[in-house]
Amino acid sequence: MPLKKDNTAEVRRVTLLGMCVNIVLMVAKFVAGILGNSRALVADAFHSMSDFSTDIAILIGSRYWNQPPDSEHPYGHRRIETLMSIGIGLVLASVGVFLILDAINALREQKQSSPTLIAAVIVFISIIIKEWLYRYTLKVGKRIKSSATMANAWHHRSDAISSIPVLFAVLTSYFFPHLFFLDAVGAILVSVFIFQAAFRIALPGIFEVIDKGASHEVENKLRSIAQSDPEVHNVHDLRTRYSGGSLYVDLHLVLSPQITLQHAHSIGNRVTDSLLASGLDILEVLVHLDPYDDSKEKKNA
């Protein structure tokens, strides 16, 4: 059975691009925050630092999750990608916690600041660049079917979203100094979006770790494809599980007891090929062949 195509090179390429962009934006935000007298922009620079940390995690992980199976890992290493996705989700959640605590502290202390327009310009440029990077990374992640790359794309989007209230706060504080508290309120609202993104990223990975199967819709499609073969009497004991965003399928085919073992094997290969060509991102299919009479005995038991 052919292994899934190694996507390490593309994962590393798009991640390196994101990492270089994050480094530039992180430095630019920090310098502009200091020179522009904006606490919000300095905090946003540290948020960009969290993007940099996830880029490093993916660059390290991508060296291993596409490695072929070995004696100690007979099913391959794709769960490393799953763990990376969960890790990115947790990092996002921690950023949300930091932003909320920082916003509450700012509201309690009621600290005012008078930022300059250079801070607003840097934030605006950052939003445009990070939104582009999100769209590009997500497109690549979907094409190569990499859950970690798609998760990192959402991290770029969260950075762009979190910068929106920073831009609003900088402009508002510049033109209306008495409305400084809107910075903290906006940060709290952004944190809600960040938590949503973290949940959306981490939950599929958590489901993979606990071997949650495919949806009923996907299983019905798998069963329908297998039963479409004219020599398959029935399909039972269908089981599925995900690994690194791809699907393992295990099913029993009920065939005529009169055919030869070689013929039954060819039917199994035929069904396997049909499932792999279904477009459902199936990594491996394991087919069990049962004689028709044996199936009747199981039903009557």
pLDDT tens per residue across span 79-135 = 777 777 788 788 878 877 877 887 788 777 766 656 778 888 998 999 999 999 999
Average pLDDT over residues 160-170: 82
Return the pLDDT at 300. 47
Given 156, 180, 209, the domain boundary residue is 209
Both tokens assigned to 59: 């660059």
Look up residue 114 and give its two tokens.
Answer: 């008078």
Q: Is residue 158 part of a domain?
A: yes
Give how far Cα 268 sits from Cα of 55, 264, 297, Å. Answer: 42, 6, 22
State the virtual CA torsion across 103, 132, 281, 214 in degrees, nearest 10: 20
Is 283 in contact with 248 (CB distance < 8 Å)?
yes
Residue 3: inside a domain: no
- Residue at 1 is within a domain: no
Residues 228 and 284 in one domain: yes
How far apart CA 130 and CA 141 sit, in angstroms, is: 16
pLDDT at 257 over 80: yes
Q: Give yes or no: residues 88 and 227 share one domain.
A: no
Nearest partner of 33 among 47, 43, 24, 48, judged by Cα: 43
Sort 193 into a burial class: Cβ within 10 Å, 0-12 / 13-18 / 19+. middle
pTM, full prediction: 0.61
Residue 276 shares a structural domain with residue 193:
no
> Which CATH number is 232's domain given?
3.30.70.1350
- Residue type for position 186: G
2 lies in a domain? no
State residue 74's pLDDT score.
65
Domain span holding position 247: 216-300
Residue 64 Cα to chain centre, angstroms: 17
Tokens representing residue 215 in the block = 């949806």
Which of the listed residues 186, 209, 232 is the one where a domain comes to its end? 209
Domain co-membership, 115 together with 28: yes
User: Taking Cα atoms as reference points, which of 156, 141, 137, 122 lies closest to residue 52?
Assistant: 156
Q: In the predicted model, is pLDDT for residue 33 greater than 50?
A: yes
Q: Are residues 232 and 194 in the same domain?
A: no
Q: Please, where are the H alpha helices in the chain? A: 8-35, 39-65, 79-109, 117-144, 147-175, 182-209, 216-227, 261-276, 292-300
- Name the 3-class secondary structure at 179: helix
Tell me the pLDDT of the chain averaged across its residues: 80
Q: How many domains are contained in the chain?
A: 2
Secondary structure (3-state) at 245: coil
